[in-house]
Structure 1
Amino acid sequence: EITFGVLLPITSRGLSKPEDCISNLQKFVESLRDTTKTDRSNCFDKRYKLKVYIGIDKNDAFFHPIEDNCAKRTLMEYGIPDVETMVFDYPPGSICAIWRGLARRAYDRGCQYTVLFGDDVVLKTIGWMSRIDDAFHALAIEKHVPYGFDGDPYLFQLYRRWGCSVMLPDVKLTNTVGGEIATRYEKKHHQNWTFEILDDGVNSVQTWLEKNSPTAPPRLLTLDVIIPSYRVQMKYLEPIIRLNRSPTASTMIIIIVDNPESPNINVLKDCYEQDPFVRIRVHNSNMGASQARNRGLGESAADYILFLDDDVTPDPDILLECEKVIRQYPNACGFIGCTKFPDPTPSIASSAITMWGGTFFWDICEHIEEDIPWGVTANLLARRYKDNVWFDEQFPKTGGGEDIDYCLKKKRFFVDNVLGGEGFRAAPQVKAIHPWWNNGGRVYRRFMKWAAGDGALINMYPELTYRDAAPNTAESLLGVAILALMTLLSMTVGITAIHRRLLIIFLITIPLIPVANIIFDVHHHMFVEPTACVPALRGYRRILAAAESSVIRIANDWGRLEGHIRRKEWSCIGQRFDWFAGRRGGVPIAHERSNSVFRFLILVGLVTSVASWVFA
């Protein structure tokens, strides 16, 4: 005889009138009776039995008197006689605590299975008891684990470590009240259950298996892929969902849709919502990249997390390569994958982005092997740890600086608090391709927004900043514009020859500032490094790309300056962030300062020459 213990917390809270809970319960009990009738008959070798454990809140007066409560009477009226009522005195919303108490009672009473239900469920599948029992037997044979080794989010994550968490497609139910809509009670989540509590459970199961089932397979590595998605483009999401899986790892895809108006959400759900290893969450409004990734972090219970952008095309074996580097360097806090862009040569705009340096850190893992300061979240593999490291939501919704901040905090925690902890390592075989933004078109505004965000790093990490040797383009333009305005204001008092000369010099200087930058970049890419960045680009097209790289840098400088002004970070103007975070010593800083000086000297030379000609 196989006994199923049905765990049934019941509440009258959150309904228009308390009697509605009995109406919901009647629908559940009727479905419970009808779908188990065949299994509970004596027509099979096995006889299945139901035992219902009702959990009632002590303060829910609707179910008083407890001894003869209306829920128990309803079950018995529908032909479910074996019912036991338990009373709990927990804060509202402690549904898991009630389930736990009911499960303990069912276990003590000898139930072979415990099934968690809500009072608003309607069962759809006839014979679900025998189907579940058969599935457990098949799982035990396939995975070489004891019969009944499987199983709510905690149990799923626990047994997932041995590949024993499955969903039966032919056993179905519906939620008539809950589901994705708001619950009838305030949810009380246990904080950090995916760390110590889950780890304790995993260790207990591991110890039990070693003692009771020597033939059980080794524990699997768990790796979740988190994809914040605004566009919800199936041409990118489907290949990620269908990535090749490793037999020694368990992978879950977590998609956080950050645009509830996307017409593709229903398509995505129709295709993959029934897959227990594809989790789809939809924000009520556009919350931004940081919040989306943070929600993904909160949803995950894996050992490692692979962050991917929703428009990258990963190598089909990227998950296998992730597992290789994880097992090779278990003390690393994470790994920087290699993200490439298509050949920029055919496009002046894409070549300009490359010359500017906008793609340098996307494949930084090919230049630095260990202790990489940071990597882009388009392809970033991080160890999930109880380090309280999240993406800072002060950064722009579209991104800009949050990936650097996340990596720096992650590394700092691991080096300081984890025995043998290391920073980020290179993972050049963890490959993905990122398309050019705007299909290779011009996206100056995007780079301005990024810079507006990453400028906050200067104030957040003063130890990683330095004072530049000369103002950048945006600072120069703003400074000269202020001086010109002050000169105009002083001319309202009285106009002198000095005023006129100063105003002319300032007005001459404003257009010459970008010209000086263009001259510097064209000279650099044509004569100093004529084959760097985009080697196949030659002739006038290389000149145009070099000139446009200056325009991108100017837009970037303007965005960063705008961010400083908006945040009132006056002391940060003129300061620069070391993108290598000290990893390469003072060499990058000296290089940037030298370039700033040369640009400024070109500007001084141009202004002097033009002014001499004007005043000649």
Structure 2
Amino acid sequence: MVQNFLCFWVMTSSCSSGWGASAFASSASLINGVGGLGAARYCKQGAPWRDALLSDAIAVLEHALGPEAAGRQLRCLNVVVPTYRCNLGALRRITQLRTSLAARASLHTLVVVDDPSSPALADVQALQDWSPNHLVRVYVQPANMGASDARNAGMAQSFGDWTVLLDDDVAPDEQLLDAYLGATLRHPHAKVFVGLTQLPEPHSMQQHALVASQMTFFFSIAAREPNPPWGVTANLCVPGRSNNTVWFSGAYPKTGGGEDVEFCLRLKALAADKDAAIVAVPEARALHPFWGGVLRQVAGWASGDVLCLEALPHSTFRALPNWAEATLLLPVAAAIGAPPLSGALDGCGTMERLVLLAACAAAIMAVELTLGVVSVLPRVPPALAPPRRMVIAVLALVPALVQDVVRLRCKLARLRFTQICLCFDWMDGQRDHVAATQFGLLVRNVCWAVAVCCVLFWSRLSAGTLALAASFLTAAVLLFARSQRINHRRLFCRDYLSALRPLPLPEDGPVPFVVLAYQRTGTNLLCGMLHNHPEVRALVAARLQ
């Protein structure tokens, strides 16, 4: 029954855009005067008809129309734009996107309004258009449910071959849709296409600092990597009707942060060829403005992306503590009497202990700022005046420092103490991100230890010892600056926790099976290990073929 209905639905709606087998009647209209937009008078029973059922119905119709209809077939493309701001100018630019005549495509743009009480709602709804092969609809969410739910609502109403996800504040290039369509023809088996999201030329010191901090690295990842690990949802293209299994998680903040990472990596896991599952499309360009409240924005990202540690445990790795975690461990070490704090604090009063701990925290921060400036300064434009460059380099450290504090606060608030000293591999195994992070934290921790010991035993050390410690810290800073240009994977040849190697499984007979689990993330860890096992990958690839 569902199959027959789908064939009829495809014939009456999709045929007009998919094969040109019917004509648009733009002068006819239908109004539901009984039900309307309100709640139904009955309990609706839906059927999961998007994925296989819809594809099978299209295949049946394609066979019925015969080979002569193949030349008239149009490619169906959806554009989903969630909006809370309801910026009419930006939304008008997006809804005016077109494909070229040579692309032979039918376009359906859906604007999902996530603020039903917006005063600009009527103006946004006026953007709706029912032109042939260019449909613009506006769907209003019942309440403010967040960016993830808004995108899911738009994707659930996308029945085309591919769905383009755009933010409501980007200015897309006129050739963006054609670039994505061309990429889908060149890579038909890819799961994610990442467009190039560019920022304007920085002018203020705050904008220069944001660019130098590399907080926007993944916005322009399409210009650097042919197969990025993931892409931001400001400019992304994913399968349309064939995707009925991977959705954006509602566990992330409403304003976004981390949900795009999980979404892309879960789509990547469905691909037979993981290395070619995500493809960069640098020709699909969109201009994204700078944010007004930069610190609020990066703090929101951090509060969301820290959830990836639990959602994607197979993409995590252990490293030494960062500055925020090291500062937190200072009073803990003092409370349990760990050396060398125990020897330095013996016989001190409460106020003296607090002063010493504050001095140790200040030493850690001083070392962090010094090493941070050394890392960031080469990314500041050399054409600027030296004092201005130095100020920008210091300002560029603030977003990363804020994110470290926010991530630590989220871990403690959720009682995830085992996630302390746990990092996420944002490059998903590409480049030397893991080794570089571990090496950088190793250098930092050694410098922190020397600086803290100097603070604790300042009155007991000789001038020669203090000079030696200062020389060591200076040499460490210089070597760290030099190390920013080397391959850390070769230098730091193995991780602290090496990856488990698959067992030599026999071809016949019983197969040994080992389950590793710890605390509440045991199931996720096991699934991640099985997902990365070569035998499991080969079996999945064989079945997909």
Q: Which residue of 2 aligns with 1:554?
A: 401
Is 1:460 matched up with 2:311?
yes
Distance change (3 Å), C-alpha of 1:217 and 1:308: same
Determine if the alignment matches structure 1 residue 341 to structure 2 residue 190.
no
| Structure 1 residue corresponding to 2:267, chosen from 404, 410, 416 | 410
- Superposed CA deviations along residues 300-353 of structure 1, whole A, max 9, x for unmatched, are 101111111111111011011111111111111121111111112x12212222
Output one character per residue of 1:385-431: Cα deviation in whole Å (capped at 9) or x when no partner: 24501111111111111111111110111227xxx994101111111
List per-residue Cα deviations over 1:248-278 (Å, max 9, x = no partner): 1111111111111211111011231656711
C-alpha offsets along residues 12-57 of structure 1, whole Å, 9 cap, x if unaligned?
A: xxxxxxxxxxxxxxxxxxxxxxxxxxxxxxxxxxxxxxxxxxxxxx
CA 1:207–1:614 in 2, change beyond 3 Å: closer, same or farther? same
> Any residues of structure 2 matched to 1:452-491 within 5 Å, and which?
452-468=303-319, 470-482=320-332
CA distance in 1, matches of 2:438, 2:149: 36
Q: Which has the higher strand share?
A: 1
CA contact (8 A) 1:517 1:550 kept: no
Partner of 1:206: 62
Structure 1 position 240 matched with structure 2 position 94: yes
* Conserved 8 A contact 1:273-1:280: no
SS in 1 for 2:139: strand
Question: Which of the two has higher C-alpha Rg?
Answer: 1
Residue equivalent to 1:19: none
Alpha-carbon separation, structure 1, partners of 2:259 and 2:23 = 36
Aligned counterpart in structure 2 of residue 251 of structure 1, from 100, 107, 112: 107
Equivalent position of 1:396 in the other structure: 253
**CA root-mean-square deviation:** 3.1
Shift of 1:511: 3.2
Aligned counterpart, 1:424:
278
The size of the alignment, in residue pairs, is 450
The alignment partner of 1:281 has SS state of strand
Any idea what SS the aligned residue of 2:193 has? Answer: strand
Whether 2:208 is the aligned partner of 1:351: answer yes
The whole-number CA distance in structure 1 between the counterparts of 2:325 and 2:72 is 59
Maintained 8 Å contact 1:445/1:555? no
Q: Secondary structure at the match of 2:160?
A: coil
Q: TM-score when scaled to structure 2?
A: 0.75
**Contact 1:331 1:421 survives alignment (8 Å):** no
Q: Is the 8 A contact 1:340 1:362 kept in 2?
A: yes
Separation in structure 1 between the aligned mates of residue 309 and residue 14 of structure 2, nearest angstrom: 40
Query: Percent same amino acid among aligned pairs?
Result: 31
| CA offset digits 1:353-394 (Å, max 9, x no partner) | 222211111111222113x21111111111232450111111
Question: What letter corresponds to residue 51 of structure 2 in structure 1?
Answer: F
The corresponding residue for 1:305 is 163
Alignment of 1:136-151 (within 5 A): none
**Aligned mates of 2:137, 2:436 — CA distance in 1:** 46
1:379 alignment partner in structure 2: 235
Q: Distance in 2 between matches of 1:462 and 1:223?
A: 34
CA contact (8 A) 1:222 1:249 kept: yes
Name the amino acid aligned to 2:60: S
| 3-state DSSP of counterpart to 1:560 | helix
Secondary structure of the structure 1 residue equivalent to 2:86: coil
Query: Residues 170, 404 of structure 1: CA spacing in aligned structure 2 closer, same or farther, 3 A cutoff?
Result: same
What TM-score, normalized by structure 1, do the two folds share? 0.67
Report how far residue 195 of structure 1 moved: 2.5
Where does residue 264 of structure 1 map in the other structure? Answer: 120
1:313 maps to a residue whose letter is: A
1:591 aligns with 2:436: yes
Partner letter of residue 397 of structure 1?
K
Find the partner of 2:140 among 269, 275, 282: 282
Structure 2 residues not aligned, in runs of 5+: 462-545
Distance 1:588 1:160, change over 3 A: same
Deviation digits for residues 475-497 of structure 1, max 9, x if unmatched? 1232235557789xxx9xx9933
Alpha-carbon contact 2:81-2:165 (below 8 Å) kept: yes
1:299, distance to aligned residue in structure 2 (A): 0.8
1:74-93 map, 5 Å = none
2:149 is matched with which residue: 271, 291, 299? Answer: 291
Looking at structure 2, the residues matched to 497 and 182 of structure 1 have their Cα atoms a distance apart, in angstroms, of 70
Q: Quick one: structure 1 residues 300 and 421, their matched pair in 2 at CA, closer, same or farther if it must change by over 3 Å?
A: farther
CA distances 1:593-615 after superposition (whole Å, capped 9, x unpaired): 22223333444454445555577
Q: How does 1:67-216 map to 2 (within 5 A)?
A: 155-163=12-20, 168-192=25-49, 194-210=50-66, 214=68
Deviations 1:107-165 (A, max 9, x none): xxxxxxxxxxxxxxxxxxxxxxxxxxxxxxxxxxxxxxxxxxxx968832344212457
Q: Secondary structure at the match of 2:164?
A: strand
For the Cα contact (< 8 Å) 1:334–1:382, is it kept in 2? yes
Rate the CA distance shift 1:204–1:463 in 2: closer, same or farther, 3 A: closer
Structure number with the bigger relative contact order (C-alpha 8 A, sep ≥ 6) is 2
Structure 1 unaligned residues grouped into runs of 5+: 1-95, 105-150
